[in-house]
Amino acid sequence: MNAVRAYFEWMPIRQVEMDDNLRIWRTFSLGDLMDIIMLDTRQYDRSITDLYWNTEYIHEIQNDAGRSLMGSRQENWFHNQLTKSKARGAAWRLIGSQIVFSRLNQSLTGGIEDPYNMDAWDGYQANRNRTFSHLYNNNITNNVVLAGDSHMSWASDLVWTGEHDYDSETGAGSIGVEFSGSAVSSPCPHGQNITMDAANNASAALVGGNRELQWQDTYYRGYYELHISHDAIQAQYFGIPTLVQRTPYEVSLANFTVKRDANALQRPVAGGIVESGALKGGKVVQTNLTYDTSTGEYKVHNLATFGYNQTVD
């Protein structure tokens, strides 16, 4: 409990309940624009996860109905928050999840014993199915999951695979979208010295192996911004060209739009063109156009030649 106390003393957040020191899950309501539902999918009353030495066992029990990513108390609260948000007429429901929510089959990337990440929602399929069931059965739409942890960037439609029909070309059948950001400084899961070509090949394999996954980038570290109105949400992804040198440079990687009540990424996804990674039904055009945030100027760099361990000229 000393660690919990130190956490709340150090972080700029308040405890939600004084008699539940471990609780950080909460909701923020911003008028009729949106409800931000922040989950704890890492610590709070979580069933055993993949600790690497027990991966085979976790794979066997991943769909056990008794497994929970967040505990029954938080899960019931989560579903109630979704219902209340719809009832009060909020335009959007933003769901903060520390780990990727969507199904991700990584088998086509090669060298992976288990194609699914048992430390993410894929390792807690019954919990995810209950969430999907609540969303679909209660017609709770305009959901946007915001995820992290994977050290890669993703943009997906939110699809209950195997239970509801889904058209990957149009997005029909989706109940929302998911945006997941890369790490700011931590290396790519495929190694910090991966080349851009190798990273983009891995991205192409991931996009090809998952119908709901519309875009994925493995190479760049970076961040994304959300621009939210009552009618639409725009997600803009940015990459940092080097990690070994402090620079003001960033690269615009991809831009996505989701319209209210569409419940899927607007087609053509990202306007049909992205800077890096792989885009379903679109193309990658490496302009190497780099923005200098200190001067507001743009300059073209040959980004594929220097990688993370070299400096930018």
Helix (H, G, I), strand (E, B) or coil at 81: helix
Does an H or E element contain 257, and which?
strand 249-259
Please report whether residue 257 resides in a domain.
no
Amino acid at residue number 58? I
pLDDT, residue 305, reads: 56
- Predicted confidence (pLDDT) per residue in 261-286, tens digit: 999 999 999 999 999 999 999 999 99
Residue 7 included in any domain: yes
**What residues make up the domain containing 76?**
1-220
Start-to-end CA distance of the chain, whole Å, equals: 49
At residue 109, the pLDDT reads 65
pLDDT at 309: 46
252 in any annotated domain = no
Residue 42 lies in a domain: yes
d(C-alpha 249, C-alpha 297), whole Å: 10
Classify residue 133: in a domain, yes or no. yes
Does the residue 92 lie in any domain? yes
Q: What is the CATH number of the domain that holds 10?
A: 3.60.21.70
Residue ranges in the chain whose pLDDT is less than 70: 108-114, 304-313
Structural domain contains residue 5? yes
Q: What is the pLDDT of residue 245?
A: 81
Number of domains in the chain: 1
Question: Is the residue at 228 inside a domain?
Answer: no
CA 271 vs. chain centroid, Å, equals 20
Q: Tell me, what DSSP letter sits at residue 265?
A: P
- Asked if 236 contacts 252 with a C-beta cutoff of 8 angstroms, the reply is yes
